[in-house]
Structure 1
Amino acid sequence: MTYAEVNGVSLWYEEHGDGEPLVLLHGGFWTIELFGGFLTALAERRRVIAVELQGHGHTADVDRPLRYETMGDDIAALIRHLGLGRTDVLGYSLGAGTALRTTIQHPDAVRRLIVVSTPVRRTGWFPEVLAGMAQIGPESAEVMRASPLYAGYERVAPRVEDWPVLATKMGDLLRRDYDWSAEAARITAPTMLVYADADSIPPSHMAEFYALLGGGLRDADWDGSKRGLNRLAILPGHTHYDITTAPALPDLIEEFLSTSS
């Protein structure tokens, strides 16, 4: 458990387990602690390098906006700092957007990519989710003080008084439009998309994203010989907010990361 000085940010990361490295990125307002048993399960078979992004958890904020692009640069710099070479990256929600930008901007840093519960363009979120994102800011920070998200932040943040700053920057980030479709279509790293069947993203967008990666465009033939390298998993009985508790998720991830081709 320590800091890495990258791109002007003191980036907190923790290492759990042994084996091939896997960089793990959390959701918005999260700390590493909130991964709970999911991190434990991953660390049974991998050297998991769990990171707290700018302004989150132990990682203090710096004088720059929160942007997927700069956080993606931070993760690539951390991979180089640790001498990992091309490594596997898994992100959930905010972390998934960051992992996606890391792969787009630094293809030499990512061996395999796992995107959990995020769209490839902003309008891929359900309208009611976008409406909720529009309300995030300093006022919502006060309401969120009663939540487990704030409790986790309060335990570890170097400057607890920055909680409203984090909410303000998160709101600004979440209201910014983006469409990474063209860039995602050029990703060469094998990629797995993972969603809940009651996610904050409609199944039509999940299929659209998968098709951009070349998935689901043709029959795989009787022997699977025409199946691509990329994967789409939709986990039943879960939502955007509890998908990392899905019992099947660690095994799906390990199977994908262990595929030889």
Structure 2
Amino acid sequence: MGDYANLPGVTTWYETEGAGDPLVLLHGGFCTNDTWGALRADLAAEYHVFLPERRAHGHTPDVPGPLSYQDMADDTVAFLETVVGGPAHLVGWSDGGVVALLVAIARPDLVRKVVVIGANFRPSPECFVEPAMLDTMTPAGADLAFFREMYEAVAPDGAEHWPVVAAKVIDMWRTQPALTTGDLARVQAPALVMVGDDDMMTLEHTIALYRAVPRSQLAVVPGASHLVPLEKPALGNRLITDHLLQDEVETLLPIRRAPAPEAAGGTAA
């Protein structure tokens, strides 16, 4: 079932499914909730799943001006406060992962645990394996046909608005996000950083993200591209649910997670 929420920034379409602890699924750029199809039923069997479609995506209208991750993060904060009604787990894929990170940084009180899949914290020229791919993307091009068809099927602004949205998203990717490792260090929620071994983002960039987020785990999914939730849904679901259910990470030989040594010269007995 779907409905609209009148948020301060944009009237936002969302769907809900299941019961239990709240979990918000944040789709990727150019996408709709349909791209969660391989995961949502399994997650809804354990959680109360909320699926908002961000501004200029799916059933949610565009708004005047450029797109920004910060505006979409602000929309998500409003969604958590008014629709979810409090803190939730966030699972974000691609652009949705960027939004999840921004929310976790700004509003730790609203984020229980976070999963980011194929996400980046720097703009595409700094993190894409093939940064030049943006130069070949055009609204009418074959490389965006899959996304164009999804948009045209449900967009309240009409199919003719697609070129505007496509240009906005591509422009956003060129200069955003602009987070630093210091920003990522402010994420308090336990995090799972997931990426395909043949993702759009370089593995080096993903590892930098993982290392910067204090309470994080890293999963490099073998035989997968940027479309991990579509290509490896069973494994993706297991990794997500294991992370959400896990209290603390305990390993036999911790290095990164080793307890900090006690300060020298402790108090005398």
Q: Same fold (TM over 0.5)?
A: yes
Task: Tell me which amino acid in the other structure corresponds to 1:230.
Answer: S
CA distance in 2 between partners of 1:146 and 1:118 (Å)? 19
Aligned in 2, Cα 1:91/1:82: closer, same or farther, shift over 3 Å?
Answer: same
Aligned in 2, Cα 1:134/1:176: closer, same or farther, shift over 3 Å?
Answer: farther
Asked if residue 255 in structure 1 is aligned to residue 253 in structure 2, the reply is no
The unaligned stretches of length 5 or more in structure 1 are: 215-228
Asked if residue 6 in structure 1 is aligned to residue 7 in structure 2, the reply is yes
CA distance in 1 between partners of 2:241 and 2:129 (Å)? 33
Asked if residue 239 in structure 1 is aligned to residue 241 in structure 2, the reply is no
Deviation digits for residues 212-242 of structure 1 (CA, Å, limit 9, x no counterpart): 124xxxxxxxxxxxxxx42111111100134
**TM norm structure 1:** 0.87
The unaligned stretches of length 5 or more in structure 2 are: 249-269
Structure 2 SS opposite 1:23: strand
Partner residue, 1:113: 114
Partner residue, 2:263: none
Displacement of 1:210: 1.4
Partner residue, 1:217: none
Partner residue, 2:88: 87
Asked if residue 153 in structure 1 is aligned to residue 151 in structure 2, the reply is yes
Rg (Cα) greater in structure: 2
Q: Aligned runs of 1:66-215 on 2, under 5 Å? A: 66-122=67-123, 123-128=125-130, 130-136=131-137, 140-144=138-142, 147-160=145-158, 161-177=160-176, 178-214=178-214
Partner residue, 2:58: 57
CA distance in 1 between partners of 2:206 and 2:35 (Å)? 25
**TM norm structure 2:** 0.84
CA distance in 1 between partners of 2:126 and 2:195 (Å)? 13
Identity %: 34
CA distance in 2 between partners of 1:124 and 1:114 (Å)? 22
Q: How many residues align?
A: 243
Task: Tell me which amino acid in the other structure corresponds to 2:236.
Answer: L
Asked if the contact 2:35–2:230 (Cα under 8 Å) also holds between the matched residues in 1, the reply is no
Displacement of 1:209: 1.5
Structure 2 SS opposite 1:142: coil
CA distance in 1 between partners of 2:181 and 2:136 (Å)? 26
